[in-house]
Structure 1
Amino acid sequence: MKFTHNTSRRGRGTALIALTASAALMLSACGGGETAESGAEGGSGADGEQTITFIPKQLNNPYTDVVLSGGETGAEEAGFASSEVVGPLDASASSQVSFINAETQAGTNVITIAANDPDAVGPALQEARDAGAKIVAFDSDTNPDFRDLFVSQVNAQDVGLIQLELIAEQIGGEGDIAILSATANATNQNEWIKFMEEELASNPDYADINLVAKVYGDDDDTKSFQEAQGLLQAYPDLKGIISPTTVGIAATARYLSTSEYKGEVALTGLGLPNEMRPFVEDETVSEFALWDPAQLGYVAAFAGKALADGDITGAVGDTFEAGELGEREVEEGGIVIVGPPTVFNAENIDDYDF
């Protein structure tokens, strides 16, 4: 299956929900920074029809848009009666709790969530589970005690190490580097960074690379841009920046591309090919990595359906069919892996459209 980035939230009959930037802004103005979009049928699962709701870290995030487009496709193909997307406009630790509570009240069968904080959402998720909902974490895990499955992009260690490998190549194996991450509590970024730090401390190949700073752009474009600028002012000898977040790497690339540091400071991390293409073409960035985000949402939808149908329980060794992406198996820790990371550069970036 080849997924492409669909920037509009297309409706698919009455089964899927359209989510637009204009509606998000209107609701944000009225509702204190949080927004939700619901379909006419709601999420009650009336008459035995199963419902699924996706709660991303935040709305209006290009990476999230791609994940959710795959999730909507998967929800339709898996046979859910309705699919909704609800969530906050900011990626704060507690911003998702009210949305979880609303889905619990609505009787939603499957709640699929990318957690901003692994523990802050825990009590609300437990209430949802007590009420009968199945919980699938995707992209960014919750505390495992509060979910049935975690659908992970790739093996977490592989994600961390590919970014470290890329920056090492780009700075010639020596020099000061910094990390510009998402939020300080983001489960996925923190795990990747942990593997980077362990590898820096233990691998003699990286003995001459010094991690001098970790900063957080909160997955906000403006703040990420300012944090990148601040890093380069605070560390004039900086040789490279790793940004394991699509918002952060794009904002940092935009800053570097018009600054005196272009060509002097290397940048890599996790980015969307369509966003990063101009910066590869103008040689601000040579290589970065990612997976197909749409496949993440797609597999998460099928995992939720298998749980709701009782075909799996989330036990190690359970298997389910993920549509055109084939069979997936539950691994240790209740984790389902989607696929390996891809490295993008000038030679292959035009082969991808998301």
Structure 2
Amino acid sequence: MTDIFTRRQIVTLLAGLGLAATAPAAFAAPKPGADPTPVIPVNPGNLRLAVLLPVKDDPFYKACADGAQEAAAQIGGLDIVVAAPDKRNLRDQAILLNGFVKQKVDAIAIVPVDAAELGPICRRAMARGVKVISFDQPLPQATRLIHLDAVSSRGKASAFMDMLAGDVKQGGDIAIIAGNKPGSEGQALLSDTMAEWLKPAYGKLKLAATVFGNEDDKAGYAAAERLLADHPDLKGILVFNAAALVGAAQCIADKGLTGKVFVTGFGRPSQLKAAMEAQTIECFASVNPVDLGYGAVQIAAALAKNTLTANTGSTLEAGRLGQITVAEGGVATLKPFVVDVKNFSKFADVY
């Protein structure tokens, strides 16, 4: 395969992450003018798998790499390398992707910097027999076999209602801060949450109000303040947007309502340290980057072994993640992940 980019010297092996236990300890640095793509060894009987991340020194993707290596070690019979550009750069990630295709690896799991631009390379890779999956950030369906998403809209809705029921045990009025006025993604999440709410287990929770247009911390704070004024008996606030959740939690703390009005939703651990320490938030739904990397390698290896297909309904027993099912469009999702006091410290500095 002829490269479609001019090569330049860049060492892109993901520093500090190393390789899975089945791979050599390190790769030699490329010589000037050489292909910078780390070479995956050829060991008879082993599958060769590349995990390609968007940037090297990002804690979230380092955690993804940890999960990828964990899965590779458990599966066995894999020679795997994790690589990424020094900076989030389309050109450099494309060079690495091209390099792995030229090595004729069995599978590539990629978080694309630019899905549209990298799609043609991935399509050519599949034409050459390479199993390509995306995770975290999706490739167009025609340019990959499966995309692994961290959590589905239904998964979020299920986690939301479980957390609310756990926080507001006696029931009462609940308000939703739903982000932007319903669009495709927001509407799906709101619809799934309402469908989940109809279950008998949540009969004590009463929907008091739903407000939109809150996708930053200031807007989340203001929305929470208005809801408290309009609904003085409010027992809980559910926040869809991570930044708005920070603002809503701060409002509850400032009003002296910690322990009286419960706040939960979808968030990022690094943004919620103060809220968790003050117990303004007891738990929230989030993305687990370790599980994301782990699941990506489980899927890529199964495709390479031909024990999984991209067909709707195809299933995989993915180690500690349990069963993963391929849905319409070749999309698979992980089960909801809830951050609470027991596991918060593990992720507080990750993302």
Deviations 1:178-223 (A, max 9, x none): 539xxxx9xxxx74x33233357887877632222143xxxxxxxx
So what's the TM-score if we normalise by structure 1? 0.62
Q: Secondary structure at the match of 2:98?
A: helix
Deviations along 1:125-172, whole A, 9 cap, x unmatched? 324434443221223433322211122334431214533775797795
- In the alignment, which of 222, 228, 245 is matched to residue 217 of structure 2? 228
Unaligned runs of 5+ in 2: 1-14, 28-34, 199-204, 229-236
* Contact preservation (8 Å) 2:64, 2:293: yes
Task: Look up the match of 1:136.
Answer: 133
Amino acid at match of 1:330: V
Q: Which amino acid aligns with 2:329?
A: G
Q: Please, what TM-score do these two structures have when normalized by structure 2? A: 0.62
Identify the residue that residue 179 of structure 1 maps to in structure 2: 179
Identity of aligned residues (%): 19
| Distance in 1 of aligned mates of 2:161 and 2:26 | 39
- Partner Cα distance (2:174, 2:140) in 1: 36
More divergent stretch after superposition (45-54 vs 72-81): 45-54
1:213-242 deviation digits (Å, cap 9, x = unpaired): 143xxxxxxxxxxx3135536885256572
1:54-93 C-alpha deviation (Å, 9 max, x unpaired):
325x554444332221112223444332312315756xxx
2:153 to 153, 156, 160: 156
Deviates more, 1:306-315 or 1:258-267: 258-267
Q: What secondary structure, in the 3-state scheme, does the structure 1 residue paired with 2:299 have?
A: helix
In the alignment, the residues of structure 2 paired with residue 211 and residue 117 of structure 1 have an alpha-carbon distance, to the nearest angstrom, of 33
**Secondary structure at 2:282 match in 1:** coil
Change beyond 3 A, Cα 1:150–1:17: farther
In 1, the alpha carbon distance for the partners of 2:109 and 2:172 equals 41
Report the CA distance shift for 1:41/1:199 in structure 2 as closer, same or farther (over 3 A).
Answer: closer
Structure 1 residues 176 and 261, CA, compared in 2 at 3 Å: closer, same or farther? farther
How far did 1:319 drift? 4.5
Where in structure 2 are the equivalents of 1:202-351 lying within 5 Å?
Answer: 208-215=208-215, 227-229=216-218, 231-232=220-221, 236-237=225-226, 240=237, 242=239, 244=241, 248=243, 252=246, 256=250, 260=254, 263=257, 267-271=263-267, 276=272, 279-290=275-286, 292-323=288-319, 325=321, 328-338=324-334, 340-346=335-341, 348-349=342-343
Residue 80 (structure 2) aligns with: 82
Partner of 1:102: 96
Aligned partners of 2:58, 2:206: CA distance in 1, in Å?
33
How far apart in 1 are the matches of 2:136 and 2:283? 22
Assess, with a 3 A threshold, how the Cα gap between structure 1 residues 163 and 234 changes in structure 2: closer, same or farther. Answer: closer
- Residues 74 and 275 (structure 1), Cα distance of their counterparts in 2 relative to 1, 3 Å cut: farther
Unaligned runs of 5+ in 1: 1-7, 19-38, 216-226
Aligned residues: 297
Q: Please list, as runs of the form range in 1=range in 2, the aligned pairs for 1:5-20 lying within 5 A after superposition.
A: 9-12=16-19, 14-15=23-24
Cα shift readout 1:256-282 (whole Å, capped 9, x = no counterpart): 399736747864334566875653231
Superposed, 1:193-208 pairs within 5 Å as: 193-199=186-192, 208=208
SS of the residue corresponding to residue 81 of structure 1 reads strand
Deviations 1:87-118 (A, max 9, x none): 5756xxxx556514531243263332335676
Q: Tell me the equivalent position of 1:24.
A: none
Letter of the 1:83 partner, please give it: V
Say if 1:115 and 1:268 are closer, same or farther in 2 by CA, change over 3 A: farther
Cα RMSD of the aligned pairs, angstroms, is: 4.7
What does residue 61 of structure 2 align with? Answer: 64
Answer yes or no: is the 8 Å Cα contact 1:52–1:83 preserved in 2.
yes
Which structure 2 residues correspond to residues 38-57 of structure 1 after superposition, within 5 A? 42-43=38-39, 50-56=48-54
One-letter code of the match for 1:213? G
Aligned letter for 1:42? Answer: P
